[in-house]
Amino acid sequence: MPQMNENRVCESQEMGRILARIAAEIVARNKGCQKLALVGILTRGVCLARRLQEIIRETFGQELSLGVLDITLYRDDLSRATHHPVLRKTEIPFSLDGATVVLVDDVLYTGRTVRAAMDGLIDFGRPQSIQLAVLVDRGCRELPISADYIGVEVPASPQDRVMVRVAESDGFDLVTVTPRSAFQGE
């Protein structure tokens, strides 16, 4: 359940509007593109990519392919990870060669996940271009990566916790920022 002292950035309705805007931007920017596809990064990126696919189908009548990417095998911190990695299944049921791929993730932070995701994608083929859509950009990049489509910008310090919850996996839609003091002593 949401905590008392977390700041709500956006809730369900707001999230719907944001996704609709991103969907429109994706369509506008890639007008005339023959092979446009969405690839969600597990776990919440996939939920968001599905919603974008649905919005684009209903609003613009375009059917985009959808892929699922697990970046565990491409992480650069495997040997330093204190938790034990859990591997899930990657599914890219279409050819990436020559495609324009929109990577979808919930939060853009250091950029390492996106770096790993691009490495992973390229192992499946040679896309024409890769674009990035994120629901939240919280700053604090460690790699030269920026998003093409941003839902909300939430400047947060590395100590803060930014969380995206989506109905598909969490039961409700919610983006929160919890300042450091709220979970000190955990």
Partner 1 sequence: MGFRRKDLLGTRDLSAVEIRTLLESAESFKEIAERPLKKVPALRGKTVVNLFFEPSTRTRTSFEIAAKRLSADAVNISASTSSVVKGESLVDTVDNIQAMAPDIIVVRHKFVGAAHLIAERIGASVVNAGDGANEHPTQALLDLLTISEHKKLEPGLTVAIIGDIAHSRVARSNIWALTTLGITVRVCAPPTMLPRGLEEIAGVRVCRRPEEALEGADVVMMLRIQLERQDRLLFPSVRDYARIFGLNRQRLELACPDAIVMHPGPMNRGVEITSEVADGKHSVILNQVSNGVALRMAVLFLLGGQGRE
Q: Is 131 in the site for partner 1 (CB under 8 A)?
A: no
Q: What count of residues does the chain have? A: 186
Q: Is 78 in the site for partner 1 (CB under 8 A)?
A: yes
Q: Is 143 in the site for partner 1 (CB under 8 A)?
A: no
Q: Is 125 in the site for partner 1 (CB under 8 A)?
A: yes
Contact 136, 105 (CB under 8 A): no
Using the rule CB under 8 A, which residue among 19, 23, 48, 74 binds partner 1?
A: 74
Q: Is 90 in the site for partner 1 (CB under 8 A)?
A: yes
Q: In this chain, which stretch among 51-59, 75-83, 154-162, 178-186 interacts with partner 1, using CB under 8 A?
A: 75-83
Q: Is 82 in the site for partner 1 (CB under 8 A)?
A: yes
Q: Would you state the structure tokens that stand for residue 43, as one six-digit string?
A: 């776990």
Using the rule CB under 8 A, which residue among 2, 85, 155, 171 binds partner 1?
A: 85
User: 8-38 burial, b if ≥16 CB within 10 A, otherwise e?
Assistant: ebbeeebbeebbbebbeebbeebeebebbbb
Beta bridge mates, 131? 102
Q: In this chain, which stretch among 25-33, 80-88, 100-108, 148-156 interacts with partner 1, using CB under 8 A?
A: 80-88
* CA distances for 13 relative to 20, 172, 175, angstroms: 11, 11, 12
Q: Is 98 in the site for partner 1 (CB under 8 A)?
A: no
Q: Is 34 in the site for partner 1 (CB under 8 A)?
A: no
**Sign, CA torsion 94/108/49/62:** negative
- The residues of the shown chain that bind partner 1, judged by CB under 8 A, are 70, 72-75, 78-82, 84-91, 119-120, 123-125
